[in-house]
Amino acid sequence: MTARGLLLPSLAALAALAVLVGLGCWQLERLAWKNDLVAQVEARVHEPPIPLPGPSRWDDFDRAQDEYRPVTAHGRFDHSREVLIYTVLSDTSRLFKGPGFWVLTPLMQADGSAIIVNRGFVPDDRRAPARRSEGQVEGTVTVTGLVRFPEEANWFVPDNAPERNVWYRRDPEEIGRAKGLERVAPFTIDADATPNPGGLPQGGETRLAFPNKHLEYALTWFGLAATLVGVYVAFVITRLRGRRDTEADGSASPGR
């Protein structure tokens, strides 16, 4: 193979190498972003809780700046409109764990608006409100917890089925529509570990878990880039060696 014959394979290998290295560098940038995000959130959750502003300020809340922010809110729970979201609670040292549900209940404001509060976990055999009636508190209450934004849809979590009152994701707007609420905060509150009467729901179970495999992905892309270089070098050596062998055989042939 001549140098001209190596041109096309070389250009293809160079383009592929640029893509692989670019993807690796992008994942390193994502790693730095994720580490910064985790540091911000870990600092934020330890700040003193602030009073949650009224409905006119709800739309000012931003996922990047306010997710996991500690807040306090006041109102009355409307237990008749609670929603159960299936979960499996395993990473806890608390009394209740295993298969069960998050209990999301509207915290009604004086003006008729509502804040959906994730009051905490109940095991499967206590899902019915009658099995945890002590925790169905009445009257004005104060809730302290962390701001959470709607869970984003993905391939692994089914869509909610409000017509059957079956829920898989925290989506306050969708819950509000299904339950006939006029004005709902665009976020929820995960209640803290303040005990409820009777022990259920079991609050304070928010997990600050951020999937962070960007370094792993970066090493994968860089590893593929290194493999590509190795394959290309082996390819070139093989072709050049084959060319030399062909020329040597031609030189040794009679009549040459």
For β-strands 184-191 and 114-123, DSSP reports them as parallel
> Does residue 171 sit within a domain?
yes
C-alpha–C-alpha distance, residues 91 and 149, integer Å: 22
Q: Is residue 245 part of a domain?
A: yes
Strand partners, 167: 85
- Ranges of H-type helices in 6-51: 7-44
Quick one: 159 and 54 in the same domain? yes
Judge whether 149 lies within some domain.
yes
Q: What is the CA radius of gyration of the chain?
A: 29
Q: Which of 146, 191, 193, 149 is nearest to 169 (CA)?
A: 149
Domain residues for 91?
A: 48-199
Contacts 24+ apart (CB under 8 A), 203-206: 203/119, 203/120, 203/121, 203/145, 204/94, 204/120, 205/89, 205/92, 205/94, 205/120, 205/121, 206/68, 206/145, 206/146, 206/148
Which segments in the chain show pLDDT lower than 50? 256
Strands (DSSP E) contained in the chain are: 50-51, 70-77, 83-89, 98-108, 114-123, 140-148, 184-191
Residues 66, 14 within the same domain = no
Q: Indicate whether 32 and 75 sit together in one domain.
A: no
* 92 & 129 share domain: yes
Q: Are residues 19 and 62 in the same domain?
A: no
d(CA 199, CA 122): 9
Write down which residue in 199, 220, 237 finishes a domain. 199
Cα 34 to the center of its chain, rounded Å: 12
Give the pLDDT confidence score for residue 255 in this predicted structure. Answer: 53
Q: Check: pTM over 0.95? Answer yes or no.
A: no
In the chain, the amino acid numbered 124 is: D
Answer yes or no: is 207 within a domain.
no
In a domain, 52, yes or no: yes
CA distance 30 to 25: 9
Whether 100 maps to a domain, the answer reads yes
Residues 170 and 130 occupy one common structural domain: yes
What is the structure's pLDDT at 106? 97
Q: Are residues 139 and 195 in the same domain?
A: yes
Coil, strand, or helix at residue 150?
coil
Cβ neighbours of 115 (radius 10 Å) = 25
- Whether residues 63 and 148 fall in one domain: yes
- Residue-level pLDDT at 181: 93
116 and 77 in a single domain? The answer is: yes
Residue 205, domain member (yes or no) = no
Query: CB-based contacts of 82: which residues, under 8 Å, 6+ apart?
Result: 103, 104, 105, 106, 129
Structure token digits, residue 84: 């159960």
- Domain assignment of residue 206, yes or no: no
Is the domain of 163 the same as that of 130? yes
* Pair 191, 220 in one domain: no
Do 67 and 33 have their domain in common? no
Alpha-carbon span 246 to 2, nearest angstrom? 12
Q: How many domains does the chain have?
A: 2
